[in-house]
């Protein structure tokens, strides 16, 4: 199967560096694929079995770069003999990314040389525990490399700035302030000041700017010039031209023996400043992963021998019982064993409303227990947790390259050689046709061309946008497993929706309860639910769920009649529940209910009857209703011009009814799970780029066949390997939000390319002096260097704007306008609450009827808290959505819906 290594690489500055490293790695025997990301400064290398890491590291070094390799010493407790040493060395050496292991029994330490981008210190310590020993932990700094890089830039930048400022004052000051020139001439001759310029410029160019020379020499040695080459040539030309003019002015034509020491120093200083700001910005692009990691708890309160003990999270194992108090983060994935509380899962799903958790419910590590004490049993720990999988998916997405980057890579591969050729051509043209002093003009123009061209921006255009977008998506519950999925989702033309569990809730619900004359709904439901207690049929489960909270009579003589229904004696009465054919079998006529049954069945519902003591007492209808948000999501997708298709194994009539309810025109029904991929292929054969949206349970072939597979579910049960995009919310509106983010990201990438390519295309002619005959202006090398740094900062700044992306505001299904006769409003109030009185008066003034419940009653307060996560009056509930707050807040939320369809005679 081979292995995958992740290498950190230092020294890359532009897209040509990426190409050079990839080529160097792919030439190695046994290397199957190599992908390099400039933004993360990492290479992902897939190799065949038997290939060792050292040739790979050496290839990176030979290409002129430095692979990130670290050495760490870890203290170990519990070793007693040489066999302990052998066991630990063998365990650690078996980890991907570990290069060398040496255990010292005398000092009880192990020295490990490893790739920090492939394996962490925490994983090394975990492996030691797995071998049966105890590592002595200490705080580690995962940002050590980034901090070291920034510290290096700061050190060199301070030196360069400290020397460049007086250098510019000495060389340019007399031109701006003639009095200063007179004072300088009186103090020392002009030649002495030039020697001072040489002394100030030399450490700036060759010490503060040494990284550019090292990188440039390595690039030239491997025949792949990049940004470092351009800077090296530009600063060297300015510096050595000035040295020669200072030492041998007679070699130059009259009037051309000028010095450009200040230009060389300013070039280095400005580019160092630009690279420092770039490094800071690149750190911000990857902050999403760091924030995700920060969500994990560091300690857990584990119950051992009846006592609660504080342990490091790394010491928790599956099966441990963990106490989670109010306000604490859930340490790891688990199942609630005892207690109830509301858990904030917004880090997982993006939804702000807390979710009630009780015995048997799953909880996810990193979520916050808002109230109530929970005792949970750990089910997944370490790298197996949902949070760890999310982090891995975000990192994988950041590492991958979408197709849009391929063109940029091809252009970047030839960009610098073309710029070098343009620079030479510029020098020649100026020498041939330029005005006097030709040499000065030719030199300035040629150096400016070298410095203004920026291949860095090309290499950063795509990966920085992908990094920021994948992190922003994770905060919204949208996980892109690959960078290519972002581009693919933005370009899709058709969306295929699996019905069950995606468009609909995936479980039957009792949607209609129609009692016969003389029967009360609650009494009829209680009798039906009592009979259905013994049945495992999905319809029986739907009836029982609807009857929760009702007092059910005891039953005797229960009998299930397969294919028809069930009967029993409930509360001393003979009760039968079943289809119309069961009623006929019992000798009961359903003709009087035939029209209502036809209407319900036309709507895709399954109708059952309830008979009591030999007479039909009412009808019930059961269906798998659409999820809240399905209709709104389908409408939003169609507004964007997408072709929406629903795919299902259900019968045609049922499928059509659901499709009509959510606004889908094209339906493919009675499709077996194995044939779903064929339906996707049929759409692709029509020339459409297709996204398939399913719950990931039996949709794997269709998800794989589609251009983009979108797995939709809930945070705890989502199959994260199921699709290219994983939505942690079981709501189709998340598809709309994910596509909006993908489109915004692709747009950002295009703008980045505009800044990268357009910037260079526009400014290279300016630097070459093409407009000099018309304007008399020629760009100076120092300004060209500043412009080069600015292009990278523009690209990074544009990508960072994605951090503030806001998904489109989609209404809830309940956002239909309120009408004068509507009675579906539920109002929770408390006695003596002025806001409650104001809301009631406002609803009444607008002709909106409502049902009122008293929050001062404990059972009502518990109901509101259980259903909506709040129990502070007033609360207005409409269509399943709760609004709460002051009267002004509630009026602001409800007034727009009154204005959308104002009832006759009512003032808006």
Catalytic residues: 498
- 640: three-class secondary structure by DSSP: coil
**Contact present, 643 and 494 (Cβ < 8 Å):** yes
- 858: three-class secondary structure by DSSP: helix
Under the phi-then-psi rule, with left for phi > 0, alpha for psi from -120 to 50, and beta for the rest, what region is 40? alpha
Write out the H or E segment, with its range, that includes residue 283.
Answer: helix 261-285
What residue has token string 């060398």?
A: 100
What does the block give as tokens for 645? 């298709």
What does the block give as tokens for 3? 């292995």
Q: Which long-range contacts (CB under 8 A, 24 or more apart) does 421-428 make?
A: 422/449, 422/764, 422/768, 423/233, 423/447, 423/449, 423/450, 426/768, 426/769
Q: What share of the chain is helix, strand, coil (3-state, %, to 5)?
A: 50, 20, 30
Q: Which long-range contacts (CB under 8 A, 24 or more apart) does 346-350 make?
A: 347/295, 347/475, 348/386, 348/390, 348/477, 348/715, 348/728, 349/477, 349/714, 349/715, 349/728, 349/729, 350/475, 350/476, 350/477, 350/478, 350/728, 350/729
**Contact present, 20 and 63 (Cβ < 8 Å):** yes
Q: How far is CA 844 from the centre of its chain?
A: 46
CA distances to 879, 884, 904 from 818, in Å: 11, 17, 12
Q: How far is CA 30 from the centre of its chain?
A: 33
**Contact present, 792 and 456 (Cβ < 8 Å):** yes
Candidates 170, 161, 119; CA nearest to 272 is: 161
| HSE-CB of 579 using CA atoms within 13 angstroms | 10
CA distances to 382, 471, 728 from 479, in Å: 20, 8, 8
The CA-to-CA distance between both ends of the chain, in Å, stands at 68
What does the block give as tokens for 711? 């797995």
- 426: three-class secondary structure by DSSP: helix
CB within 8 Å of 159: residues ≥ 6 apart:
203, 204, 207, 208
**Contact present, 451 and 443 (Cβ < 8 Å):** no
CB atoms within 10 A of CB 157: 17
Q: Sign of the CA dihedral 445, 448, 450, 454? A: negative
Candidates 388, 387, 362; CA nearest to 374 is: 362
CA distances to 41, 489, 637, 662 from 644, in Å: 40, 14, 7, 11
Pairing mode, strands 850-854 and 825-829: parallel
Distance CA 779, CA 723 (A): 52
What does the block give as tokens for 216? 């440039």
What does the block give as tokens for 708? 């983009």
| HSE-CB of 528 using CA atoms within 13 angstroms | 35
Distance CA 529, CA 533 (A): 6
Compute the radius of gyration of the chain from its Cα atoms: 36
| HSE-CB of 301 using CA atoms within 13 angstroms | 14
Candidates 26, 25, 32, 100; CA nearest to 62 is: 25
- 404: three-class secondary structure by DSSP: helix
Distance CA 560, CA 531 (A): 10
């Amino acid at each position: 199967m081979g292995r995958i290594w992740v290498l950190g690489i230092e020294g890359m500055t532009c897209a040509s560096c990426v190409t050079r490293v990839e080529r160097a790695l792919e030439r190695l025997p046994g290397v199957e694929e190599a992908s390099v990301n400039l933004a993360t400064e990492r290479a992902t290398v897939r190799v065949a079995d038997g290939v060792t890491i050292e040739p790979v590291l050496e290839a990176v070094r030979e290409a002129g770069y430095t692979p990130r390799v670290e050495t760490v010493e870890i203290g170990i407790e519990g070793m007693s003999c040489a066999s302990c040493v052998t066991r630990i060395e063998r365990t650690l050496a078996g980890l991907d990314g570990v290069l060398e292991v040496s255990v010292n029994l005398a000092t009880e330490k192990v020295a490990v040389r490893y790739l920090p981008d492939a394996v962490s210190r925490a994983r090394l310590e975990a492996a030691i525990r797995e071998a049966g020993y105890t590592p002595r932990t200490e705080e580690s700094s995962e940002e050590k490399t980034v901090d070291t890089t920034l510290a290096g830039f700061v050190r060199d930048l301070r030196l360069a700035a400290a020397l460049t400022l007086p250098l510019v004052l000495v060389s340019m000051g007399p031109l701006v302030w003639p009095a200063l020139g007179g004072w300088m001439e009186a103090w020392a001759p002009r030649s002495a000041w030039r020697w001072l310029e040489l002394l100030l410029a030399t450490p700036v160019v060759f010490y503060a700017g040494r990284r550019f020379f090292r990188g440039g020499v390595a690039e030239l040695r491997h025949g792949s010039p990049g940004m470092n080459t351009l800077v090296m040539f530009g600063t060297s030309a300015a510096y050595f031209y000035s040295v020669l003019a200072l030492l041998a002015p007679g070699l130059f034509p009259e009037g051309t023996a000028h010095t450009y020491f200040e230009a060389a120093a300013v070039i280095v200083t400005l580019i160092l400043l630009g690279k420092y700001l770039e490094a800071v910005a690149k750190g911000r692009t990857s902050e999403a992963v760091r924030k995700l990691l920060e969500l994990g708890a560091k300690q857990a309160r584990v119950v051992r021998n009846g006592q609660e003990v504080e342990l490091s999270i790394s010491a928790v194992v599956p099966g441990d019982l963990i106490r989670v108090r109010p306000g604490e983060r859930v340490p790891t994935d688990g199942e609630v064993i005892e207690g109830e509380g509301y858990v904030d899962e917004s880090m997982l799903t993006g939804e702000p409303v807390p979710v009630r958790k009780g015995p048997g419910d799953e909880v996810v590590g990193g979520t916050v227990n808002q109230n109530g004490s929970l005792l949970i049993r750990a089910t997944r720990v370490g790298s197996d947790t949902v949070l760890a999988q999310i982090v891995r998916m975000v990192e994988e997405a950041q590492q991958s390259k979408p197709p849009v980057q391929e063109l940029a890579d091809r252009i970047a591969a030839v960009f610098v050689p073309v710029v070098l050729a343009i620079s030479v051509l510029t020098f020649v043209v100026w020498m041939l046709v330029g005005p006097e002093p030709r040499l000065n003009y030719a030199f300035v123009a040629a150096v400016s061309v070298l410095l203004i061209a920026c291949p860095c921006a090309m290499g950063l255009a795509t990966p920085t946008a992908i990094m920021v977008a994948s992190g922003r998506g994770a905060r919204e519950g949208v996980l892109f497993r690959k960078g290519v999925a972002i581009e693919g989702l933005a370009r899709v033309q058709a969306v295929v929706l699996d019905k069950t569990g995606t468009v609909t809730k995936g479980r039957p619900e009792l949607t209609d309860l129609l009692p016969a004359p003389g029967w009360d709904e609650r009494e009829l439901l209680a009798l039906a639910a009592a009979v259905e207690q013994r049945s495992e049929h999905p319809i029986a489960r739907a009836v029982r769920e609807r009857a929760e909270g009702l007092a059910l009579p005891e039953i005797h003589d229960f009998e299930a009649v397969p294919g028809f229904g069930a009967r029993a004696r409930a509360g001393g009465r003979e009760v039968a529940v079943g289809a119309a054919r069961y009623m006929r079998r019992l000798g009961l006529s359903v003709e009087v209910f035939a029209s209502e049954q036809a209407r319900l069945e036309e709507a895709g519902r399954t109708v059952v009857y309830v008979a009591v003591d030999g007479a039909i007492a009412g009808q019930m209808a059961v269906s798998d209703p659409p999820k809240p948000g399905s209709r709104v999501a389908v409408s939003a997708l169609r507004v964007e011009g997408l072709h929406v298709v629903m795919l299902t194994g259900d019968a045609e009539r049922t499928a059509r009814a659901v499709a009509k309810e959510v606004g889908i025109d094209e339906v493919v029904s009675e499709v077996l799970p194995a044939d779903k991929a064929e339906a996707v292929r049929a759409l692709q054969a029509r020339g459409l780029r297709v996204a398939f949206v399913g719950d990931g349970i039996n949709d794997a072939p269709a998800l794989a066949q589609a251009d983009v597979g979108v797995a939709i579910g809930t945070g705890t049960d989502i199959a994260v390997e199921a699709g290219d995009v994983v939505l942690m919310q079981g709501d189709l509106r998340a598809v709309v939000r994910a596509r909006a983010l993908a489109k915004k990201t692709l747009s950002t990438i295009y703008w980045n390319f505009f800044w990268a390519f357009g910037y260079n295309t526009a400014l290279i002619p300016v630097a070459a002096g093409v407009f000099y005959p018309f304007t008399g202006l020629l760009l100076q090398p120092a300004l060209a260097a500043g412009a080069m740094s600015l292009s990278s900062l523009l690209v990074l700044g544009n990508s960072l704007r994605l951090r503030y992306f806001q998904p489109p505001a989609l209404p809830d299904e309940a956002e239909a306008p309120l009408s004068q006769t509507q009675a579906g409003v539920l109002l929770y109030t408390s006695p003596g609450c002025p806001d409650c009185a104001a809301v009631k008066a406002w609803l009444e003034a607008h002709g909106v009827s409502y049902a009122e419940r008293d929050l001062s009653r404990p059972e009502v307060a518990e109901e509101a808290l259980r259903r909506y996560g709040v129990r502070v009056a007033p609360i207005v509930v409409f269509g399943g959505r709760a609004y709460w707050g002051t009267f002004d807040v509630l009026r602001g939320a409800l007034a727009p819906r009154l204005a959308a369809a104002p009832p006759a005679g009512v003032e808006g």
